[in-house]
């Protein structure tokens, strides 16, 4: 399973060093970028969600191929990309 807690996965999927990735996560933790949601919490931590979005954008993998690599369903991966994609583009 791919996770951001393993630094070797960060560079190939984001194009960033682990230090730069950490700065990106810090910027995305601001309340206006990643506000607290009502309802069920995300199944992945923010770091893994950002890595999933980056992997989706940088690879030619479909959601059906990418979701099992992160241990989530296709629909959960789609929701993560829809939610974090615009915030990461900033």
Neighbours of 2 (CB within 10 A): 17
Q: What is the predicted pLDDT for the residue at 37?
A: 66
Ramachandran quadrant class, 59 (left: phi over 0; alpha: psi -120 to 50; beta: rest) = beta
Supply the mean pLDDT for the chain.
86
Q: Which pLDDT tens digit goes with each residue over 68-87?
A: 999 999 999 999 999 887 76
Both structure tokens of 49: 């969600």
Cα(10)–Cα(33) distance, rounded to whole angstroms? 21
Per-residue model confidence (pLDDT) at position 35:
57
Spatial distance between the Cα atoms of 56 and 32, rounded to a whole number of angstroms: 24
Cβ neighbours for 22, distance < 8 A, ≥ 6 positions apart:
none
Tens-place pLDDT, residues 19-54 = 999 998 888 887 665 556 677 777 899 899 999 999
């Amino acid at each position: 399973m791919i996770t951001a807690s393993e630094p070797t996965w960060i560079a190939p999927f984001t194009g960033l060093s682990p230090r730069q990735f950490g700065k990106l996560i810090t910027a995305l933790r601001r309340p206006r970028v990643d506000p607290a949601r009502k309802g069920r919490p995300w199944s992945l931590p923010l770091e893994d969600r950002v890595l999933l979005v980056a992997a989706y954008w940088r690879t030619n993998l479909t959601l059906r191929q990418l979701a099992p690599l992160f241990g989530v369903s296709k629909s959960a991966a789609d929701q993560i990309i829809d939610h974090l994609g615009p915030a990461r583009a900033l």
